Structure 1
Amino acid sequence: MLQDAGSFPSAVLRLEAPPYDFDWVSGSGQGIEHANRLTGKYDLRTQSIGRGTQSVAAGVGFWFFSGEGDPRQRFAALVDYSHVWFDMASFYVADNRQHTRLWVFGASEKAWVAQSDVTPSWSDHVGWLDSSGNDPEGEEGRVSNETVFRAAPNSWYQCWIWSAIELYADSGFWGLAASSAEVKISVPFAVLGSL
């Protein structure tokens, strides 16, 4: 038995592309961090050679109005990326972490309603005489990431695509450790739509 076309819920899709509404950098001063809402691109770079913790972050985002609302509102973003990173230890330890995230802040909820770690992301730890990473070849690719959140009716949401790098490397009398990472992200478009 076929159902009437009128009995199916209507799909509502909204496409967002640069220029986005806002960009952000952490301003930590511990590396290089750029973001440009007009192009939908951001890049991060930092390193620690026996200097302890270093961190940087940046991202782009836009406003979304929920209309009738949706208990399973989908937020998806196409991400073009390239990255190169390494960590090495000589009798000490080093950490290398990078996370790309899709986060949604609800204005009426006054809280984050979605916080998802997506690709590209990694977390690595080395110690003693270990080393790891993809330097100098690096990696690049294109991936579609998504998260789902509850959108209240007639509400505004900030949709963010952002990344953070956090490195750690210590040193001392017997040697030192080093950690370095660089990430470039481009977000050609994002989609909000019902599942």
Structure 2
Amino acid sequence: MSTLSDYLNEHLPDGWQKPQLVEALSGTLDRATVYRYLAGSHPRSPAESVLEAFAKVLPGVTVVELRAAANLSAGAEEPWVPPVEANRLSHAQRRALESFIKATVGPIDDGDEPNHRQPSVDLQPAAPALTEQERAEVESYVQRLYASGRKDLADRVASSLVNNPSIEPATRPADA
């Protein structure tokens, strides 16, 4: 069993057995997927759509709680919608931001040991190291932020690159 499967089983409505949950999720998740999650043989990083499906049918369960039980960054209930100015980003800038976001919200890395902690909505992830290509894309984006005068945001993004000391972090331009 996993912490997520324990959490799901503990939050079945009174009187429900596994078949009732399968029925409630029919059309969204197939029977085999539901049983895998209840048995703890689910992927280490469950798909967001699967967590959302369980949150919709289990009373009092939120996707934030399910992420925490799955040892993922808990985040927020509602999806993040970037400001409309994000439409001005180039393809390379979008890829850099996507890489940064994925690295930031990756699963919490506790090795291959199963997580036996109680779910908590304030878990902080240990972000996986970026590849050299992803790091270069993020550093390029940081330099563009400095050039555009967005020093505060550039400093925050640059500070996130400290994860991997084997590659030099983004540097702030001398005139910034």
The structure showing larger relative contact order (alpha-carbon pairs under 8 Å, at least 6 residues apart) is: 1
Query: Normalised by the size of structure 2, how large is the TM-score?
Result: 0.25
Query: Normalised by the size of structure 1, how large is the TM-score?
Result: 0.23
Larger % of helix: which? Answer: 2
Larger % of strand: which? Answer: 1
